[in-house]
């Protein structure tokens, strides 16, 4: 256990125990109900992962993704990881795993249980398109530029919707209170 001394009070540091639900569009997200483990449990169960390793949810909500960024975490049974070789760019793999082609492969592999499970066998045997590393970088650059444009449009549209709702509320109020005459 790690003790941090603040004044005279010792605090025990706990390490987050993450599952597939903590993987959120490229980042590991912690919630109020995210469980923690002690330093002792962390040392017992930790995996030595490289920065940039792709984390993937394999149980329940399949295919949620995040990048490992040297956080002290313990992976639960619904989170797995894919370490990329020098022949595949981790961000390219991230976007590839979101494609209809890969999601279809995942869906075809599920067994008949009520909770979908993605097997490590399926992940290891994915049929993927793997261009040269330079082209992978170009594809990622293009995708990120386009996604930024789309995300900006979405944000602007959300702001417009909010303004229109405010205008609607104000208009109704003015009509009801008689500030605007209706014929």
User: What is the CA 52 to chain-centroid distance, rounded?
Assistant: 13
User: CATH number of the domain at 3-130, please?
Assistant: 3.90.220.20
The domain ranges of the chain are 3-130, 131-183
pLDDT digits (tens, 9 = 90+) for 92-114: 999 999 999 998 888 888 766 77
**Residue 31 CB coordination number (10 Å):** 10
Closest by CA to 92, choosing from 144, 23, 54, 140, is 140
- Identify the pLDDT of residue 2: 45
Q: What is the pLDDT of residue 167?
A: 96
Q: What is the mean pLDDT of residues 174-180?
A: 89
Please check the confidence at residue 4 and state whether its pLDDT lies above 50. Answer: no
| The predicted structure's pLDDT at residue 154 | 97
DSSP labels for 76-110?
A: -TTEEEE---TTS-HHHHHHHTTSHHHHHHHHHH-
Task: Tell me the mean pLDDT in the region 13-42.
Answer: 88
pLDDT for 57 beyond 80: yes
Q: Is the per-residue pLDDT at 135 higher than 90?
A: yes
> How confident is the model at residue 10, as a pLDDT?
52
CB 100 within 8 A of CB 141: no
Q: Half-sphere exposure (CA, 13 Å, Cβ side) for 74?
A: 19
Q: Is the pLDDT of residue 9 over 80?
A: no
């Amino acid at each position: 256990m790690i003790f941090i001394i603040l004044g005279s009070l010792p605090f025990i540091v706990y390490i987050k125990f993450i599952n597939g639900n903590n993987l959120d569009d490229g980042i590991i997200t912690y919630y109020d109900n995210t469980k923690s483990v002690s330093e002792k449990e962390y040392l017992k169960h930790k995996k030595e992962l490289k920065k940039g390793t792709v984390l993937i949810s394999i149980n329940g909500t399949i295919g949620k993704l995040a990048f490992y960024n040297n956080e002290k975490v313990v992976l639960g049974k619904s989170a797995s990881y894919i370490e990329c070789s020098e022949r595949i760019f981790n961000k390219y793999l991230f976007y590839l795993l979101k494609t209809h082609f890969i999601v279809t492969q995942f869906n075809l592999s599920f067994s008949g249980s009520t909770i979908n499970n993605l097997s490590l066998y399926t992940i290891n045997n994915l049929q993927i398109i793997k261009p040269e590393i330079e082209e992978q970088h170009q594809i990622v650059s293009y995708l990120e530029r386009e996604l930024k444009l789309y995300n900006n449009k979405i944000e602007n549209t959300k702001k417009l919707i909010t303004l229109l709702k405010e205008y609607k509320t104000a208009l109704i109020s003015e009509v009801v209170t008689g500030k605007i005459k209706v014929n």
